[in-house]
């Protein structure tokens, strides 16, 4: 989940990375979403930050968090979690 604030919008720079990984591993295993933290109370702790937060869930539980646009770390995290 790309957790973003309304004033900056979702992180468009990693969309290509997400598409590439999803095409490689198949859509049954991996799903991407965006969430505006300003309108979701459960994501309140991610408000007021100047960097995007990428939340990784498995079985409905938060299992990893990557702050900032660090493409190598995002890719590594996704592949390790799969």
Domains in the chain, number: 1
Judged against a pLDDT cut of 90, whether residue 16 lies above it is answered with no
List the one residue out of 57, 11, 17, 18 whose CA is nearest residue 34: 11
Which pLDDT band, with edges at 50, 70 and 90, does 15 fall under?
Answer: confident
- Where in the sequence is the domain holding 49, given as residue range(s)? 2-81
Enter the pTM of the model. Answer: 0.84
CA distances in angstroms from 33 to 2, 11, 45, listed in the order given: 6, 11, 18
Mean model confidence pLDDT for the chain: 88
Judged against a pLDDT cut of 90, whether residue 65 lies above it is answered with yes
């Amino acid at each position: 989940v790309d957790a973003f604030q309304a004033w900056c919008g979702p992180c468009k720079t990693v969309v290509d990375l997400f598409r590439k990984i999803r095409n490689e591993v198949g859509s049954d295993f991996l799903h991407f979403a965006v969430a505006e933290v300003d309108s979701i109370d459960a994501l309140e702790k991610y408000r007021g930050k100047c960097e995007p937060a990428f939340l990784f869930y498995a079985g409905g539980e938060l299992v990893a968090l990557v702050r900032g646009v660090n493409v190598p770390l995002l890719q590594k995290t996704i592949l390790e979690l799969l």
